[in-house]
């Protein structure tokens, strides 16, 4: 995560150095709008959850000792906790590159504002700085919302992979997680043709500028979901997947299975 954040921070730091201004350290919201960044972000999240519990020899004894339902719920709560640990690390590593030239105020500052209202971001090769985010969110508010909301998206991914590992295998769980990256890329590329996919792609929702958009003559002629709708869908899916996981564990035969 740190390497990825450094790569995307360097162009902004170069612009800040050339202009002589400090840069606000809260640039993560703009990175999460960038498809290239997200194409690296999703596999990192999948790898992070690659060790989701799998009913192999050692876990069988844990299930017997703790009880099936308790075992499943314990691991789902652990996934929720680890999702927000992931977000904490993501936000910290996004700030680290700016330590020596960073502005920690709750104002976006000259660098971010200039990049958002001019084409200088193209000259320096930075991630696009969307003015919509500056209009609706302060730096600290945007980071707080990202922590809570993107943490929920990550939590959904973790619970989904946990369910897949119980229904099938850990390998299938990891491969099925990549479906969300394919869905995200497809939704982005089809935004001018058919944007219904935006309603089905959780990792497209990490873009704070995407919520509640109306057709602008070019993109999203069906509009886009609101953040409230996305939160409701994610919570519903997490509950459904939790129930599926518990039912699966309750009806599982204790046949020792290899990791793959």
Give the DSSP letter string of 227-258: HHHHHHHHHHHHHHHHHHHHHHHHT-------
Q: Give the start-end residues of each E strand in the chain.
A: 23-24, 102-103
255: in domain: no
Hey, what are 175's tokens?
């491969």
| Cα-Cα end-to-end distance for the chain | 27
68: in domain: yes
pLDDT of residue 61: 63
Range of the domain at 196: 2-250
Q: Give the start-end residues of each E strand in 96-227.
A: 102-103
pLDDT of residue 214: 81
CA 28 to CA 47: how far, in whole Å? 20
Residues 245 and 76 sit within 8 Å (Cβ to Cβ): yes
pLDDT of residue 36: 95
CA dihedral for 220, 228, 38, 96, sign (positive or negative): positive
Cβ atoms within 10 Å, residue 30? 26
pLDDT of residue 48: 93
256: in domain: no
43: in domain: yes
What is the number of domains present in the chain?
1
225: in domain: yes
Burial class (CB in 10 A: 0-12, 13-18, 19+), 75: buried
CA dihedral 158→161→165→171, nearest 10 degrees, is: -120
pLDDT of residue 62: 67
Residues 30 and 127 sit within 8 Å (Cβ to Cβ): yes
137: in domain: yes
Q: Provide the CA 179 distance to its chain's centre, in angstroms.
A: 14
| pLDDT tens by residue, the chain, 260 residues | 889 999 999 999 999 999 999 999 999 999 999 999 999 999 999 999 987 765 555 666 666 677 778 888 989 999 999 999 999 999 999 999 999 999 999 999 999 999 999 999 999 999 999 999 999 999 999 999 999 999 999 999 999 999 998 888 888 999 999 999 999 999 999 888 867 889 999 999 999 999 988 877 677 777 889 999 999 999 999 999 999 999 988 887 655 444 44
Residues 154 and 45 sit within 8 Å (Cβ to Cβ): yes
pLDDT of residue 259: 46
Residue 53 phi/psi, 5-degree rounding, is: -55, 140
200: in domain: yes
CA 116 to CA 136: how far, in whole Å? 13
Cβ atoms within 10 Å, residue 133? 20
CA 8 to CA 32: how far, in whole Å? 11
27: in domain: yes
pLDDT of residue 59: 63
CA 84 to CA 151: how far, in whole Å? 5
Residue in the structure block whose two tokens are 């509950």: 239
């Amino acid at each position: 995560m740190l390497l990825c954040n450094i790569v995307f921070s360097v162009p902004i730091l170069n612009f800040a150095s050339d202009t002589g201004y400090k840069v606000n350290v809260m640039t993560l919201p703009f990175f999460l709008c960038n498809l290239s960044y997200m194409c690296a972000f999703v596999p990192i999240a999948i790898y992070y959850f690659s060790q989701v519990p799998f009913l192999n020899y050692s876990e069988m004894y844990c299930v017997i000792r703790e009880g099936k339902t308790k075992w499943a719920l314990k691991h789902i709560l652990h996934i929720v906790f680890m999702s927000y640990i992931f977000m904490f690390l993501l936000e910290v590593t996004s700030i680290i590159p700016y330590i020596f030239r960073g502005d920690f105020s709750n104002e976006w500052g000259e660098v971010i504002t200039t990049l958002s209202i001019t084409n200088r971001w193209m000259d320096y090769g930075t991630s696009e700085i969307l003015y919509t985010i500056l209009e609706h969110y302060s730096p600290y508010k945007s980071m707080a919302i990202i922590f809570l909301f993107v943490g929920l998206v990550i939590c959904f991914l973790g619970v989904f992979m946990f369910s897949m590992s119980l229904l099938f295998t850990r390998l299938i769980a990891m491969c099925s997680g990549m479906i969300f990256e394919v869905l995200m890329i497809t939704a982005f590329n089809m935004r001018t043709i058919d944007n219904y996919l935006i309603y089905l792609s959780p990792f497209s929702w990490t873009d704070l500028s995407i919520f509640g958009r109306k057709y602008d003559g070019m993109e999203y002629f069906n509009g886009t979901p609101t953040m409230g709708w996305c939160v409701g869908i994610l919570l519903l899916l997490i509950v459904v997947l939790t129930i599926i996981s518990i039912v699966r564990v309750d009806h599982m035969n204790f046949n020792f299975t290899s990791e793959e």
